[in-house]
């Protein structure tokens, strides 16, 4: 790993906004969810909540251009689950919706801890989400169409959130070097080793000041402890 690569990863991780997230409520088109994830990465969101749609997702990897490596997607079976978690974390829940009481998206203070709720392409935000919603917002339209595509609307709203947070200095706040930080850093720098550790139920090793595994001989030690695989899997690991 080059020093430039390590510093780039650190800079991106330090700008991550833990108190800003997106909840995609049964967004069933894979390309839309992928585009939303890419936008989240671009504005510094590290975690996206996705409520599993009926019929599953239609895979579409092209739009993300690698964003999924840097944004963790937590999948839920009901919309109440992620919204309850966001509420418990002190977040306001802002729903992109076409209801009569929706306000202009620019009138919201996105420097507050915020969860942006996005409905699916056909039905919008589900009724089960209603008890958790603090405000409903809309992106004003000047043409004949009623609304933007869900991924486009997400990009517009999150761009405003980014603008407000940049002005407020949210992207240069002191970094909290806690367990979540260390875990994310290791997974970003060493994705193959991270997957190996998860499969073998091993703790992640500590990193040195250059982002490399600090303990000398760690690779050999864990390789000896781990049970050998057979066939192609064993060959691929060598």
Q: What is the DSSP string of 77-105?
A: SSSHHHHHHHHHTT-EEEEE---TT-EEG
Kindly report, residue by residue over 61-92, the tens digit of the pLDDT: 444 444 578 999 998 989 999 999 999 999 99
Residues 23 and 76 in one domain: yes
Q: Which domain holds residue 98?
A: 16-172
H helical segments located in 89-189: 150-167, 179-189
Kindly report, residue by residue over 187-213, the tens digit of the pLDDT: 999 999 999 999 999 999 999 999 999
Residues 156 and 199 in one domain: no
Kindly report, residue by residue over 130-151, the tens digit of the pLDDT: 999 999 999 998 898 878 899 9
Q: How far apart are CA 23 and CA 39, in angstroms?
A: 13
Q: How far apart are CA 25 and CA 119, in angstroms?
A: 5
For residue 166, give the CATH number of its domain.
Answer: 3.40.1280.10
Domain boundary among 172, 195, 229: 172
Residues 34 and 62 in one domain: yes
Residues 156 and 211 in one domain: no
Residues 21 and 56 in one domain: yes
Kindly report, residue by residue over 172-189, the tens digit of the pLDDT: 998 889 999 999 999 999
pTM of the shown model: 0.86
Residues 21 and 44 in one domain: yes
Distances (CA, A) of 87 to 68, 118, 129, 212: 25, 16, 12, 37
The number of distinct structural domains making up the chain is 2
List CB contacts of 189: < 8 A, sequence separation 6 or more.
Answer: 1, 6, 9, 207, 211
Structural domain contains residue 51 = yes
Torsion of CA 51, 68, 72, 206, to 10 degrees: 160
Q: 139 a known binding residue?
A: yes
């Amino acid at each position: 790993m080059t020093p430039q690569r390590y510093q780039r990863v650190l800079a991106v991780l330090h700008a991550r906004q833990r108190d800003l997230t997106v909840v995609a409520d049964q967004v069933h088109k894979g390309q839309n969810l992928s585009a939303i994830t890419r936008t989240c990465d671009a504005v510094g969101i590290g975690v996206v909540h996705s409520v599993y749609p009926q019929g599953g997702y239609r895979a579409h990897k092209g739009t993300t251009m690698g964003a999924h490596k840097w944004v963790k997607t937590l999948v839920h079976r009901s919309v109440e689950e992620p919204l309850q978690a966001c509420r418990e974390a002190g977040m306001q829940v802002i729903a992109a919706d076409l209801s009569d009481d929706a306000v202009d998206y620019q009138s919201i203070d996105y420097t507050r801890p915020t969860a942006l709720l996005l409905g699916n392409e056909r039905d919008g935000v589900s009724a089960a989400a209603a008890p958790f919603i603090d405000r409903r917002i809309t992106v004003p339209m000047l043409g004949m169409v009623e609304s933007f595509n869900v991924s486009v609307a997400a990009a517009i709203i999150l761009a405003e959130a980014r603008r407000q947070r940049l002005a407020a200095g949210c992207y240069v706040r002191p970094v909290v070097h806690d367990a979540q930080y260390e875990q994310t850093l290791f997974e970003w720098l060493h994705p193959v080793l991270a997957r190996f550790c998860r499969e073998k139920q091993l703790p992640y090793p500590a990193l040195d000041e250059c982002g490399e595994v600090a303990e000398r001989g760690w690779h050999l030690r864990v390789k000896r402890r781990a049970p050998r695989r057979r066939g192609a899997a064993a060959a691929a690991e060598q």
